[in-house]
Amino acid sequence: MDQAGAIDAFAALAQPTRLDAFRLLVRVGPEGLPALEISRQLGTKPSTLSGHLSILKRAGVLTATRYQREIHYSANLGSVNALVQFLIADCCGGRLENCPEIITLPKSA
């Protein structure tokens, strides 16, 4: 990922409804959800959510797959991984083995 891609991803996620939709889809996993189900779970109007999902898709943090008349969205975890790698690429002079706190996942509560 380059700087322009990272800025696009952060800009897309820097809005409450879009961030909520992205986090919902991360929780759901790779199978994703249909747009109407995302709308229902977030309590957002489908017409409003459609624009938000389009922005997230354009930024590359979501993928969309059409199933007949329905569009299923899922988090693009590969893109998110690339974003994280972009952010930490220069950590500790590029020697991530010296930065164990960055690659340690938080413990579940």
CATH number of the CATH domain containing 30: 1.10.10.10
Please report which confidence band the pLDDT of residue 90 belongs to, taking 50, 70 and 90 as the band edges: confident
Q: What is the C-alpha to C-alpha distance for residues 8 and 76, in angstroms, rounded to an integer? A: 14
Q: Is residue 44 part of a domain?
A: yes
Yes or no: say if 28 and 72 are a contact pair by the CB < 8 Å rule: no
In a domain, 61, yes or no: yes
Total count of domains within the chain? 1
Task: For residue 36, tell me if it sits in a domain.
Answer: yes
Residue 39 in contact with residue 71, Cβ under 8 Å?
no
Residue 108 lies in a domain: no
Q: pLDDT value at position 29?
A: 93
- What is the per-residue pLDDT for 108? 55
What residues make up the domain containing 80? 3-103
Can you say whether the dihedral through the CA atoms of 85, 31, 59, 9 is positive or negative? negative
Percent of the chain clearing pLDDT 90 (strictly above)? 72
pLDDT bracket for residue 88 (50, 70, 90): confident
Q: Identify whether 71 is part of a domain.
A: yes
* Residue at 24 is within a domain: yes
Q: What is the layout of strands, in order, in the sheet containing 70-75? A: 33-34, 70-75, 62-67
Mean pLDDT of the chain: 89
Token pair in block for residue 63: 């993928």
The answer to whether residue 51 is domain-embedded is yes
Flag whether pLDDT at 16 surpasses 60. Answer: yes
